Amino acid sequence: MSVDSMTGKVVLVTGAGQACGRVIAEDFAHRGASVVVNDIDGHAGEETVRRIHAAGGVATFVKADVSVEAEVAALVEAAVGTYGRLDVAVNNAGTEVPVAIADSDSADFATVFAANLEGARACMKHEIRAMRAWAAERSSTCRR
Ligand SMILES: NC(=O)c1ccc[n+]([C@@H]2O[C@H](COP(=O)([O-])OP(=O)(O)OC[C@H]3O[C@@H](n4cnc5c(N)ncnc54)[C@H](O)[C@@H]3O)[C@@H](O)[C@H]2O)c1
């Protein structure tokens, strides 16, 4: 992919406050995309945006917990409200099981299932709806 291959595209990256998500967000910004940086940790997410801006990129932070569908809906709405559409979504937010499975009970897995499974489902639902809405709008503009 050439460095400017994502110019004009809008990309949402969940869990982009550190590690893999931050690298993914920075890479899309480097390629010219406008990036919506999401994380449950406001400080970490703002730091990713600061780094992207310092490198000359375009990014906005939206705090949301992906395991709460209402927050996911607001996140996607904020992305579309800020940049007008959504082209790409990277559902990276997730968490680890905090104990060895041999020592675990179902409560230990509740957060993991909520963020890693239910969170991914809720994100895809709202992202796909936003992508379809943009595609429908674009095709009706083309027919005019
Ligand atoms: N790093 C690995 O070796 C590895 C291996 C397999 C899978 N994964 C998965 O890949 C993803 C990224 O890995 P990583 O190592 O960068 O993880 P990480 O734990 O370093 O970072 C995850 C980010 O997601 C955020 N986050 C957690 N729960 C959230 C929620 N409910 N809503 C919004 N943000 C939330 C955290 O604040 C953090 O910034 C994770 O989903 C992880 O489970 C990682």
Residue 57 has pLDDT above 80, yes or no: yes
Residue 139 has pLDDT above 90, yes or no: no
30 C-alpha to ligand 1 centroid (Å)? 21
In a domain, 113, yes or no: yes
In a domain, 45, yes or no: yes
Cβ–ligand 1 contact at 93 (below 6 Å): yes
Q: How many CA atoms lie within 13 A of 79 on its CB side?
A: 33
Residue 141 has pLDDT above 80, yes or no: no
In a domain, 70, yes or no: yes
pLDDT, position 144: 67
In a domain, 4, yes or no: no
Testing ligand 1's pocket by substitution, the residue of 12, 20, 117 carrying the most ligand atoms inside 8 A of its CB is 20
Task: Give residue-wise pLDDT tens across range 2-51.
Answer: 777 899 999 999 999 999 999 999 999 999 999 999 999 999 999 999 99
Cβ–ligand 1 contact at 15 (below 6 Å): yes
Residue 129 has pLDDT above 80, yes or no: yes
- The pair of structure tokens assigned to 144 is 């005019």
Residue with the two structure tokens 């409200």: 81
Task: Give residue-wise pLDDT tens across range 68-120.
Answer: 999 999 999 999 999 999 999 999 999 998 899 999 999 989 999 999 999 99
pLDDT, position 126: 98
In a domain, 58, yes or no: yes
Quote the domain boundaries for residue 137.
Answer: 10-142
Give the model's confidence band at 143: pLDDT under 50 very low, under 70 low, under 90 confident, else very high: confident
In a domain, 78, yes or no: yes
In a domain, 131, yes or no: yes
Number of neighbouring beta carbons within 10 Å of residue 124: 13
In a domain, 2, yes or no: no
Gap between the Cα atoms of 136 and 96, Å rounded: 38
Closest atom, ligand 1, to C-alpha of 66? 32
CATH assignment of the domain containing 138: 3.40.50.720
Q: What is the pTM of this model?
A: 0.95
**DSSP per-residue letters across the chain:** --TTTTTT-EEEETTTTSHHHHHHHHHHHHTT-EEEEEES-HHHHHHHHHHHHHTT-EEEEEE--TTSHHHHHHHHHHHHHHHS---EEE-------SS-GGG--HHHHHHHIIIIIIHHHHHHHHHHHHHHHHHHHHHHHHH-
Number of independent structural domains in the chain: 1
Q: In whole angstroms, how large is the CA radius of gyration of the chain?
A: 16
pLDDT, position 1: 60
